[in-house]
């Protein structure tokens, strides 16, 4: 063997070995959700909710500072887009202005005795970005604590406000529960019930409750609903109960009563360091959590006021009351127990949410897919059958048509297959059902390159060239044709890769990889085999093609 042939042989074998490393054993090849089964969610962070939450926070902080400074006659309100500070007089104006100047993200407009604070664009953007980042982190937390193997959580979308969650092996039965875990912010708040009596309104709508208050909310209070059950977390048992009551219909929210609460928040979920489900002496489910120091101080103050004045306070989750409590004594320490009407699973999920932290905004489900593994197994079976039959037919055809040269093509195809698998493996690409189709098709396209070359060689032989000359001409003349035709296919494949997601991306990856592999094998490997044979039989007069 000449030195040149040896180098080519060794480099081909090396490439094959390197590729083999990436896909042997075959378990290294990752299968897409459509083949192995699982759930896929595409979520959108509702950024406007983060903005609204900040408006409410700002309102509360302004109120707090105004009270600290003992300024009177000022009322602070917020709506969906702004905070209104009303009742400014020439006397209190300097003090109020000083307080407001601390809120740098806000633009302040004067309107008589009112100051209107709106969020600046830059500030809005940073709030939204923050909400997105937090959402990604918290979803990761929640999924990890839920105990799913190999979850994939990837940001997406032009504004970065989308998150794709892929959970292989999770079935339809778990889908609903995970959805509940992902969609709700999980924001815990503790507030006092209003001093004004009555503060509980057993009516269904906020308007009715407001009517009972005489159409006017008392200063510094808000109305919140308390539900019969947490609607976002529905267990199987509850589903059965609901179904029994009203077949085929599920009530979204069933409000038990409206509760009048003070606007001031004593402490929030962010003060929680750990949470778990527990049981009290009556065997009802509770959620226990541990507070950080700040939270523990706030809790001590809260329980002290509650026991001294005989007042009730409420735990709210995502602006819905989950539990109303009173306290007989001041509680010092960091451990808190929430009693509520929880099922075991609800208590678990609530603990998980408290532990993982709260989202700044809720999530909207843009896309939701669950695929059963048995469907995937069927798809694999069908896909592989089709690919193997297609490949087999091509092999038989090539050998019948081109005889020994056909064998050359088969060697090239086999190397092609190895390189394709290797490239797929090294990109850690996932194989999807359309990917299998792409795989089979590129093999068909790869064989095209060989056909082009062989036909050209035949033509040159017919034109009376020597064997060596025909091979030389065949490869040289066809080289640009092959490059051109591969490049156009590469364009299509690359655009698929850019615009596609999920299964389509898998399709695009196998096509791209297949086109690249085909270029290498048809031009380099096939050529090498011919050269090697020519070397061993110099001056041969016939070529089996």
Partner 1 sequence: MHIFKKLPQFDFMKWKGVALTISWGIIVICFLLARPWSSNSRVKVGMQFTGGIDMMVRFTIPMEADQIRKALQHGGINDAALVNYSSPAGTEDYSIKVKAKQGQDSKDSTIQINKILDVLKSLDPQSKTDPRHDLNTESSLALSEKWYAANLLGLSGDEQSKRATYDGWAGKITEARDIKGSISNYNELPSTLPAPLREMIQKEFRLGHMTVRKNESFSPSISGEWTSKTLSAVFWASVAILLYVMFRFTMSFAVGGIIALLHDILMALGLFVLFGYEFSVPVVASFLILMGYSMADTIVVFDRIRENSHRPEYRRVPITKLINDSINQTLSRTILTSMSVLFVAFCLLVFGGPALRDLSFPIFVGVITGTYSSIYIASPVVVYWDRFFGGKDKLKQHA
Residues 168-187 that bind partner 1 (CB under 8 A): 171-177, 179, 183
Give the span between the Cα atoms of 351 and 333, in whole angstroms: 19
Among the listed ranges 103-111, 122-130, 327-335, 371-379, the one in contact with partner 1 (CB under 8 A) is 371-379
Q: Is 283 in the site for partner 1 (CB under 8 A)?
A: no
The residue within the footprint of partner 1, chosen from 103, 397, 524, 532 (CB under 8 A), is 397
Structure tokens at 196: 């004004």
Measured from the CB atom, the residue of 175 and 256 that comes closer to partner 1 is 175
Q: Report, in Å, the least distance between residue 354 CB and partner 1.
A: 19
The residue within the footprint of partner 1, chosen from 75, 101, 393, 544 (CB under 8 A), is 393
The residue within the footprint of partner 1, chosen from 16, 116, 227, 387 (CB under 8 A), is 387
Give the span between the Cα atoms of 171 and 5, in whole angstroms: 54
Those residues with Cβ within 8 angstroms of residue 402's Cβ, 6 or more apart along the chain or in another chain: 408, 409, 454, 544, 545
CA dihedral 257, 262, 265, 266 (to 10 degrees): -100
Q: Is 489 in the site for partner 1 (CB under 8 A)?
A: yes
Q: Report, in Å, the least distance between residue 367 CB and partner 1.
A: 5
The residue within the footprint of partner 1, chosen from 208, 337, 484, 535 (CB under 8 A), is 484
Q: Report, in Å, the least distance between residue 373 CB and partner 1.
A: 4
Instruction: For strands 255-262 and 221-227, give the pairing.
Output: antiparallel
Give the span between the Cα atoms of 366 and 112, in whole angstroms: 44
Among the listed ranges 124-132, 134-142, 436-444, 530-538, the one in contact with partner 1 (CB under 8 A) is 436-444
Helices 172-183 and 344-356, axial angle in degrees (round to 10): 50
Give the span between the Cα atoms of 62 and 198, in whole angstroms: 28
Whose CA is closest to 362, among 371, 370, 353? Answer: 353
Structure tokens at 320: 């819905």
Residue 405-434 contact track with partner 1, rule CB under 8 A, x = bound: ----------------------------xx
Structure tokens at 284: 């009802």
CA angle in degrees (0–180, nearest 5) for 193-80-218 = 30
Whose CA is closest to 146, among 446, 352, 420, 393? Answer: 352
Residues 19-78 that bind partner 1 (CB under 8 A): 34, 37, 42
Give the span between the Cα atoms of 450 and 517, in whole angstroms: 13
Measured from the CB atom, the residue of 72 and 481 that comes closer to partner 1 is 481
Among the listed ranges 82-90, 121-129, 246-254, 315-323, the one in contact with partner 1 (CB under 8 A) is 246-254
Instruction: For strands 114-119 and 152-156, give the pairing.
Output: unpaired
The residue within the footprint of partner 1, chosen from 62, 117, 352, 443 (CB under 8 A), is 443
Q: Report, in Å, the least distance between residue 96 CB and partner 1.
A: 40
Q: Is 440 in the site for partner 1 (CB under 8 A)?
A: yes
Contact yes or no for 501/157 (Cβ under 8 A): no
Q: Is 488 in the site for partner 1 (CB under 8 A)?
A: yes
Query: Distances from the Cα of 31 to the Cαs of 23, 37, 379, 436, 500, in angstroms?
Result: 12, 9, 12, 10, 17
The residue within the footprint of partner 1, chosen from 7, 487, 535, 536 (CB under 8 A), is 487
SS3 149: coil
Among the listed ranges 235-243, 267-275, 288-296, 300-308, the one in contact with partner 1 (CB under 8 A) is 235-243
Contact yes or no for 88/114 (Cβ under 8 A): yes
The residue within the footprint of partner 1, chosen from 328, 374, 538, 541 (CB under 8 A), is 374
Residues 115-134 that bind partner 1 (CB under 8 A): none
Give the span between the Cα atoms of 310 and 326, in whole angstroms: 7
Measured from the CB atom, the residue of 199 and 512 that comes closer to partner 1 is 512
Measured from the CB atom, the residue of 236 and 329 that comes closer to partner 1 is 236
Measured from the CB atom, the residue of 193 and 394 that comes closer to partner 1 is 394
Residues 494-513 that bind partner 1 (CB under 8 A): 495-496, 498-500, 503-504, 507-508, 511
Measured from the CB atom, the residue of 263 and 286 that comes closer to partner 1 is 286
Match 């069933």 to its residue by tokens: 254
The residue within the footprint of partner 1, chosen from 188, 438, 472, 474 (CB under 8 A), is 438
The residue within the footprint of partner 1, chosen from 118, 297, 459, 520 (CB under 8 A), is 459
Whose CA is closest to 259, among 196, 339, 326? Answer: 196
Q: Is 249 in the site for partner 1 (CB under 8 A)?
A: yes
Q: Can the peptide bond before residue 387 be classed as cis, meaning omega within 30 degrees of 0?
A: no
Measured from the CB atom, the residue of 425 and 434 that comes closer to partner 1 is 434
Q: Is 372 in the site for partner 1 (CB under 8 A)?
A: yes
The residue within the footprint of partner 1, chosen from 21, 77, 491, 536 (CB under 8 A), is 491
Among the listed ranges 86-94, 108-116, 201-209, 485-493, the one in contact with partner 1 (CB under 8 A) is 485-493
Give the span between the Cα atoms of 48 and 185, in whole angstroms: 13
Residues 136-175 that bind partner 1 (CB under 8 A): 171-175
Burial classification of residue 110, based on how many CB atoms lie within 10 Å of its CB (0-12 exposed, 13-18 middle, 19 or more buried): exposed
Q: Is 373 in the site for partner 1 (CB under 8 A)?
A: yes
């Amino acid at each position: 063997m000449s030195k040149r042939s040896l180098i080519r042989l060794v480099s081909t074998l090396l490439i094959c070995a390197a590729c083999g490393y990436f896909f042997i054993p075959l378990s290294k090849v990752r299968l897409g959700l459509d083949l192995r089964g699982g759930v896929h969610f595409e979520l959108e962070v509702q950024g406007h909710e983060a903005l609204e939450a900040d408006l409410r926070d700002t309102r509360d902080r302004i109120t707090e500072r105004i009270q600290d400074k003992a300024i009177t006659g000022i009322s602070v309100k917020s709506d969906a887009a702004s905070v209104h500070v009303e009742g400014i007089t020439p006397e209190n104006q300097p003090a109020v202005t000083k307080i407001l100047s601390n809120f740098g993200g806000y633009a302040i407009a004067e309107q008589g005795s009112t100051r209107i604070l709106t969020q600046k664009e830059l500030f809005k953007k940073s709030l939204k970005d923050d909400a997105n980042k937090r959402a990604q982190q918290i979803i990761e937390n929640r999924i990890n604590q839920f105990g799913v193997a190999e979850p994939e959580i990837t940001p997406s979308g032009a504004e970065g406000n989308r998150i794709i969650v892929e959970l292989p092996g999770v079935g339809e039965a778990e889908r609903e529960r995970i959805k509940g875990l992902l969609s709700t912010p999980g924001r815990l708040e503790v507030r006092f019930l209003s001093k004004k009596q009555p503060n509980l309104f057993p009516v269904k709508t906020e308007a009715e409750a407001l009517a009972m208050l005489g159409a006017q909310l008392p200063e510094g209070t808000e109305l919140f609903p308390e539900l019969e059950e947490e609607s976002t977390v529905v267990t199987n048992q509850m589903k059965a109960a609901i179904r029994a009551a009203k077949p085929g219909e599920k009530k979204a929210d069933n409000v038990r009563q409206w509760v009048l609460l003070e606007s001031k928040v004593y402490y929030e979920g962010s003060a929680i360091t750990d949470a778990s489900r527990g049981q009290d002496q009556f065997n009802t489910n509770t959620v226990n959590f541990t507070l950080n120091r700040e939270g523990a101080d706030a809790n001590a103050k809260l329980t002290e006021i509650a026991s001294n004045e005989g007042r009730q306070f409420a735990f709210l989750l995502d602006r819905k009351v989950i539990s109303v409590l009173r306290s007989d004594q001041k509680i010092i320490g960091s451990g808190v127990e929430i009693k509520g009407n929880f099922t075991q699973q609800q208590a678990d999920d609530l603990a998980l949410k408290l532990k993982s932290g709260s989202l700044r905004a809720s999530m909207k489900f843009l896309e939701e897919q669950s695929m059963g593994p048995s469907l995937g197994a069927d798809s694999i079976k069908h896909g592989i059958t089709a690919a193997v039959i297609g490949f087999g037919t091509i092999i038989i055809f090539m050998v019948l048509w081109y005889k020994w040269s056909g064998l050359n093509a088969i060697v090239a195809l086999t190397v092609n297959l190895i390189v394709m698998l290797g490239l797929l493996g090294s990109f850690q690409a996932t194989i999807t059902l359309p990917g299998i189709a792409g795989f089979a098709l590129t093999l068909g396209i790869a064989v095209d390159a060989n056909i082009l070359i062989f036909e050209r060689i035949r033509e040159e032989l017919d034109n009376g060239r020597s064997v060596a000359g025909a091979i030389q001409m065949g490869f040289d003349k066809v080289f640009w044709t092959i490059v051109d035709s591969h490049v156009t296919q590469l364009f299509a494949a690359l655009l698929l890769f850019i615009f596609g997601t999920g299964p389509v991306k898998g399709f695009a990856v196998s096509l791209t990889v297949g086109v690249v592999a085909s270029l290498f094998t048809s031009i380099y490997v096939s050529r090498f085999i011919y050269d090697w044979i020519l070397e061993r039989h110099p001056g041969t007069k016939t070529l089996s093609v």
